[in-house]
């Protein structure tokens, strides 16, 4: 696993591109994109990642993932997790203090595999190399979110990707929990989220995440 500065977790190869593309991508490049954009940590923020078998974390993940499993199916019981967090990261060419916080979690019990995407405060969608405004971090070619299996068949574009609506990921969900998206990826199950619900506040970076 490789954690890329540009908001992508990739498998086997780096993803250097800072211009997001819709899935599926050409070539065999599996990766998870919680927020594929032109992140620039030189201007602010940090990227953290870790593998874990911590029982508390795994129990929390099982709870968070439970709504993603159809009624009657066994509940998720992950035994391993990989967590990558982009904490208050800036965008390339930023002339403001706008930052984003988001996270990707991979979880597995050795058979079933899940991707969990968590979103805190999202204040920008694009850097200046993708025609974004340096003061607002908006415009141009906005962020892509979802996952790409690399087989041209199993992929998912989170609704709103590469449009201004991607900034509302912290208010939307496919689980009924604003800012949380989950997918079972060992066999393809993806459910588009409901429309954004006006008036629901986003989580703050201080919220307790996995």
Assigned domain for 105 exists: yes
Classify residue 104: in a domain, yes or no: yes
Q: Give the C-alpha distances (Å, rounded to integers) separating 90 from 38, 79, 98, 124.
A: 9, 33, 6, 8
Strand order across the 31-36 sheet: 2-4, 8-10, 31-36, 144-148, 155-157
Banded model confidence at residue 15, pLDDT cuts 50, 70, 90: confident
- pLDDT score of 189: 52
In a domain, 199, yes or no: no
- Is 129 within a domain? yes
The reply to whether 178 falls in a domain is yes
Q: Is residue 134, in this structure, part of any structural domain at all?
A: yes
Decide if pLDDT at 146 tops 90.
Answer: yes
Give a yes or no: residue 192 inside a domain.
no
Residue 18 domain boundaries: 2-184
Residue 203 lies in a domain: no
Residue that the structure tokens 């405004």 belong to: 133
When comparing pLDDT for 197 and 60, which is higher?
Answer: 60
Q: Residues with Cβ < 8 Å from 56, sequence gap 6 or more? A: none
Per the structure, the count of domains in the chain is 1
Residues constituting the chain: 210
């Amino acid at each position: 696993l490789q954690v890329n500065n540009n908001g992508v977790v990739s498998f086997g190869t780096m993803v250097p591109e800072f211009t997001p593309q819709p899935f599926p991508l050409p070539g065999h490049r599996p990766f998870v994109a919680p927020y594929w954009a032109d992140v620039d940590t030189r201007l602010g923020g940090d990227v953290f990642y870790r593998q874990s078998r911590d029982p508390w974390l795994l129990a929390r993940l099982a709870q968070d993932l439970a709504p993603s499993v159809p009624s009657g199916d066994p509940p998720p019981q992950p035994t391993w997790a990989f967590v990558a967090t982009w904490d208050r990261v800036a965008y390339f060419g930023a002339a403001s203090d706008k930052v984003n916080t988001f996270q990707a979690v991979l979880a597995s019990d050795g058979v079933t595999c899940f991707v969990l995407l968590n979103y805190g405060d999202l204040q920008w969608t694009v850097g200046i190399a993708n025609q974004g405004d340096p003061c607002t971090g908006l415009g141009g070619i906005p962020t892509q979110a979802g996952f790409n299996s690399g087989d041209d068949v199993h992929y998912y574009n989170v609704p709103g990707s590469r449009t201004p609506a991607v900034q509302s990921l912290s208010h939307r969900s496919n689980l009924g929990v604003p800012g949380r998206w989950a997918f079972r990826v060992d066999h393809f199950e993806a459910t588009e989220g409901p429309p954004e619900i006006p008036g629901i506040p986003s989580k703050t970076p201080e919220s307790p995440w996995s």
